[in-house]
Structure formats: C-alpha cells, structure tokens
Amino acid sequence: MTRIDQRGRHLERIAEVRAGTRAEKVPYPIRIRRTEILRTRMVGAGLLRVTLGGPGVAGFEAHSPDEHVKLIFPDGDGTLRLPEPNGSMLRWPRPSPTTREYTVRRYDPAAGELDIDVALHPGGLGSNWARAARPGEAVHVAGPPGGLIVPHSYDRYLLAGDITALPAIARWLEELPPTAAGWAFVEVADATEEIELSAPEDVEVRWLHRGEAPPGGSDLLERAVRAVTVPEGERVYVWLAGEAGVLKPLRRWIRDELRLGKGDHDVTGYWKRGVADFDDEHEHEHSHGH
C-alpha cells in the first residue's frame, strides 16, 4: 500500500466513528519529529506550557482531545537514541530510550505550533525538563499513535480528572459541539491551579479544591462524579483520567451502576501514587504500538 492510501484510511475511519454512535480508538500513522522550543509560559500555578515549532511540526496529526505524544530524552551520558520510521509505525531501539508521555493540548497548523502542558511536580524528569526549557532547544516528539474518537451524538458527556488530565479536559471542552451538555470536574490543589476554560453553555464545570490532601489522596473526585444523575433514557459518555487508585472505584461505578458498554466510556490511569516519576505511568490501551 502507498502511504497516501494509509493516510486516507485512518482519516476515513475517524470520520466514520465520529458520525456513528460509539466511541473508538483509531490508530494514526506514527511519526518521529524534530521540533524546537518556541516559548514557555505558566498556565495557572500547576501547568507549564511548552510551545514547540519548526519545520518538523508540519503535517502533525491531531484529531482527538486525549491523544498523546512521547518526548524523547537523552540517556544519562547525553546520548540521544531515536526510534526509526518503519512503514506507518516506529522501530524503537533496545533498551528503550527515556521518554515521557504528554497530552497534545493544541496543534495549530497555520502557525505551525504544538502546545504541551506539563503538570509540575517535584523531582519529575518531565517537570525539570519543562522548567529548564529554553527557546531554540531541540525536542524529539514521537506520535501520536492514535486517539479516542468520540461521536458528538451523546446526550451528555461526563469528564473528570486531576491536573494531569486538565490539558485533555480543556481540549475536550473546546472541541465538543456548542450544543453539548454534561459535566466537567477537575481536582486541583486550590484556586491558583484553575485555568480559563472554554466550555459549551450546558456543560457544568466544577473545580474541586483538594487543599491539604496530597495528590491522589482524596476522594473528592469520586464523590463529585458519583453524585451525577444521568436523566432517564439519555445516553452518556464518560471520560476519566488521573491517579489510578482514585479511578478504581469509579471503574466499578461505571460498570455496575451506569452499566455503560465499552464504547461509551474511557478511564485511564495517568499515574500511580508512590511511583517516583508518574509521567511514565500511562495505561493507555493504544500506547503500546508507539
């Protein structure tokens, strides 16, 4: 098959799923790109936005609020080992290079810019990199390997997560149709971590302040999500991401109480409490092709 056929196929599949009744993860051709840091800025007190650009950003694939890329970091001795293109996939060197996974917050093809919002936490490799990032530095970006395509035909959407999920939730709210209804819950430390969100009028956005509790150490999110009542006869789509342990009881709630089918929800553990560098703890089903 030629590359053009490949390309057409995944775009067709995305259009089919979006026009259908059930969500589905659709793989995209995976590329490796050399990008340059254009600028950085804080977005609220908890996220650091790194804007990437340069010729390598051209033709980037962006179709879904939950899609993510891997940033590739040099080994301890400074050696940068990069994956090689292999058809529509990448062939990764062994042992695997050091990578961190981030949500694609925004891709602007006209400006040739890609935004990655990094949740800051002490001692994290990704956090330290973002804090030290300077314009002109090169960053190698792999992916996205695909994205979750969710039809716009649901009656309601329930989105919830912590600050690591905030970039995806922010993009979700921007990309839902203006007529969409539902709820978005975001757990943050306090009001300083809140950011401007652009949400449809009928989506209720609620910030949950964790206060003194450590990240991943509160049941605020679980209680807020469980308090939601889906009107009788309406179809709801549920998207949750954040600390794996916090999400566990909500997985059961979705199964046993909402009784949602596989195509009507997506729950992703982005990190685990007690794991030193949580950026690498994604449990995305579709990240393995990366």
At 113, list the tokens: 């810019």
Q: At residue 122, does pLDDT exceed 90?
A: no
**Which residues share a beta bridge with 113?**
108
State whether 71 and 141 are in the same domain. yes
Q: What is the mean pLDDT of residues 235-246?
A: 96
Considering the domain boundaries, does residue 1 fall inside one? no
- Answer yes or no: is 43 within a domain: yes
**Same domain for 218 and 171?**
yes
Asked if residue 186 belongs to a domain, the reply is yes
| Residues 34 and 71 placed together within one structural domain of the fold | yes
What CATH number is attached to the domain comprising 57? 2.40.30.10
The rounded mean pLDDT for the chain is 91
**Domain range for 257:** 152-288
Average pLDDT over residues 51-78: 96
Q: Which residues contact 177 (CB under 8 A, 6 or more apart)?
A: 152, 200
Instruction: Decide which of 113, 128, 147 is a domain's last residue.
Output: 147
Least confident among 21-25, 144-148, 216-220, 280-284: 280-284
In this structure, the answer to whether residues 278 and 168 fall within a common structural domain is yes
Q: Are residues 94 and 202 in the same domain?
A: no
Which CA distances in Å does 216 have to 174, 194, 249, 271, 273? 26, 17, 13, 9, 6
Point out the domain boundary residue: 120, 147, 174.
147
Q: State the Cα–Cα distance between residues 198 and 193, nearest whole angstrom.
A: 16
4 falls within a domain: no
Cβ atoms of residues 209 and 192 within 8 Å: no
| 212 and 271 together in one domain | yes
Q: The domain spanning residue 230 has which CATH number? A: 3.40.50.80
Distances (CA, A) of 205 to 157, 162, 194, 208, 286: 11, 13, 11, 10, 28
pLDDT at residue number 247: 96
- Report the domain count for the chain: 2
Q: What angle do CA 144, 10, 58 make, to 5 degrees?
A: 50
Q: What share of the chain is helix, strand, coil (3-state, %, to 5)?
A: 25, 35, 40
Kindly state whether residue 253 falls inside one of the protein's structural domains.
yes
- Do residues 132 and 174 share a domain? no
User: pLDDT tens for residues 150-204?
Assistant: 999 999 999 999 999 999 999 999 999 999 999 999 999 999 999 999 999 999 9
The phi and psi torsions of 198 (rounded to 5 degrees) equal -110, 100
Q: Does one domain contain both 13 and 65?
A: yes
Do 135 and 236 lie in one domain? The reply is no
What are the two backbone dihedrals, phi and then psi, of residue 33, each rounded to the nearest 5 degrees?
-130, 140
**In contact, 117 and 103? CB cutoff 8 Å:** yes
Residues 105 and 168 in one domain: no
Query: Is residue 260 domain-shared with residue 160, that is, in the same domain?
Result: yes
Nearest to 52 by CA among 63, 62, 64: 62
Same domain, 250 and 207: yes
Assigned domain for 3 exists: no
Does pTM top 0.75 for this prediction?
A: yes
Last-in-domain residue among 117, 147, 177? 147
